[in-house]
A and B are shown apart, each in its own frame.
Chain A
Amino acid sequence: MGIVVVDVMLKSEILDPQGQAVAGALPRLGFNQFTDVRQGKRFVLTVDGEVTDQVLAAAREAAERMLSNPVIEDVVSVRAQSPEATSRTALSQASESHA
């Protein structure tokens, strides 16, 4: 099983109302050092088998054509994530929740 991670962000010149809402609420918890918040989207695409160059190319095309709207958003990155990294993340999350 292979995994491709796609990150999409609103272009910097586009107002981000969600990020602003978060930025407005952080000081209530005492976080006064963050002067701005921008919120993005992460897509985790799973394929059978390995993440080949073709899979990456298909993910890039999906990112450009559907996962993002080029008028308002940028595809920040499209990258393969190794299965080991994924299971390590899952394990560490599991152990944290047990702690």
Chain B
Amino acid sequence: MRIGVVTFPGSLDDHDARRAVRVAGGEPVSLWHGDDSLRGVDAVVLPGGFSYGDYLRAGAIARFAPVMSALIPAALGGLPVLGICNGFQILCESHLLPGAMIQNDHRTFICRDQRLRVENATTAWTSDFAQDDEIIIVLKNQDGQYVADRHTLDELEGEGRVAFRYVVHAAGAPAAKYDRFASRNPNGSYRDIAGVTNERGNVVGLMPHPEHAIEQGYGPSLDGLKFFTSVLKSVVNA
């Protein structure tokens, strides 16, 4: 199973993403932003980082890189694609996923272990989870506030296309004593949305980083591994 990881100028987490693919049992393949070829891979990860320095808008310039001219039609044709953080921003800018990302509402960069709820365990990248599983993976970004108009948000929720939500405790919960983001989501995302999927379930994007939670001793859990084992199974079953 060959899973491509695209490197853009300013990508940071491409190495970790390739490592996660390997740990999960797949063969990572490096893809280059300047090539309009996907080298025959079975799935693609758009990794985190700051492609093109986040100039213009996060992901806005990467969206027009040559590799995207191959990726966009392939994704529309069913190729599994996972966008992590900057990769999620690129998928939104490409209109492969609805909505957009703007600056965190509290205006600061954030880096923390974040609890998420799996809201859709039927996508190519989430099938190894169970519905409503709670997982903890790393969240680290400046522009992590997911926004979309009300109609789009209603449609996403109605069609089960919210893949992940930030877990938010009731105000005054014990966790709120030591965690300022216990009783509100960590970036102002509308309806606590952390990740979404397209209609077909092959394209998934999320702000937090599964590739940093795949090995004992590194990261807050091993919960990230299931993203990669899920896609390996979905490719076999396809």
Query: In whole angstroms, what is the CA distance A69 to B56 when docked?
Result: 10
Q: Does A83 contact B (CB under 8 A)?
A: no
Q: Does B235 contact A (CB under 8 A)?
A: no
B60: which A residues are within 8 A, CB to CB?
Answer: 66, 69
B100: which A residues are within 8 A, CB to CB?
Answer: 69, 71-72
Query: Contact between B147 and A67 (Cβ–Cβ < 8 Å)?
Result: no
Query: Contact between A14 and B147 (Cβ–Cβ < 8 Å)?
Result: yes
Query: In whole angstroms, what is the CA distance A63 to B161 when docked?
Result: 30
A20: which B residues are within 8 A, CB to CB?
Answer: 107
Contacting B104 at CB < 8 Å: which of A13, A17, A66, A72? A17
With contacts A15-B102, A69-B93 taken as known, whether A21 is within 8 angstroms of B107 at the C-beta atoms is: yes
Query: In whole angstroms, what is the CA distance A14 to B103 when docked?
Result: 11
Q: Does B188 contact A (CB under 8 A)?
A: yes
1/0 per residue, CB under 8 A from B, across A9-45: the answer is 0100111011011000000000000000000000000
A17: which B residues are within 8 A, CB to CB?
Answer: 102-107
Within 8 A of A (CB), among B95-123: 98-100, 102-107
B57: which A residues are within 8 A, CB to CB?
Answer: 69
Total interface residues in chain B, CB < 8 Å:
20
Query: In whole angstroms, what is the CA distance A66 to B63 when docked?
Result: 9
Q: Does B148 contact A (CB under 8 A)?
A: yes
With contacts A15-B188, A21-B107 taken as known, whether A72 is within 8 angstroms of B102 at the C-beta atoms is: yes
User: Number of contact residues on A: which range applies?
Assistant: 10 to 19
Nearest A residue (CB) for B101: A72
1/0 per residue, CB under 8 A from B, across A50-91: the answer is 000000000000000011010110000000000000000000
B103: which A residues are within 8 A, CB to CB?
Answer: 17-18
Query: In whole angstroms, what is the CA distance A67 to B55 when docked?
Result: 11
A13: which B residues are within 8 A, CB to CB?
Answer: 149
What distance in Å separates the Cβ of B63 from its nearest Cβ neighbour in chain A? 8
Query: Contact between A71 and B92 (Cβ–Cβ < 8 Å)?
Result: yes
Query: In whole angstroms, what is the CA distance A72 to B105 when docked?
Result: 15
Query: In whole angstroms, what is the CA distance A10 to B149 when docked?
Result: 13
Contacting B148 at CB < 8 Å: which of A10, A15, A66, A71? A71
Within 8 A of A (CB), among B42-94: 56-57, 60, 64, 92-93
**B interface residues, Cβ below 8 angstroms from A:** 56-57, 60, 64, 92-93, 98-100, 102-107, 145, 147-149, 188
Q: A17-B104, A66-B64, A71-B148 are in contact. List 12 more A-B contacts (CB 8 A).
A: A10-B102, A13-B149, A14-B102, A15-B145, A17-B105, A20-B107, A66-B56, A66-B60, A71-B92, A71-B99, A71-B147, A72-B102
What are 10 of the A-B contact pairs (CB < 8 Å)?
A15-B145, A15-B147, A15-B188, A17-B106, A20-B107, A69-B57, A69-B100, A71-B92, A71-B99, A72-B100
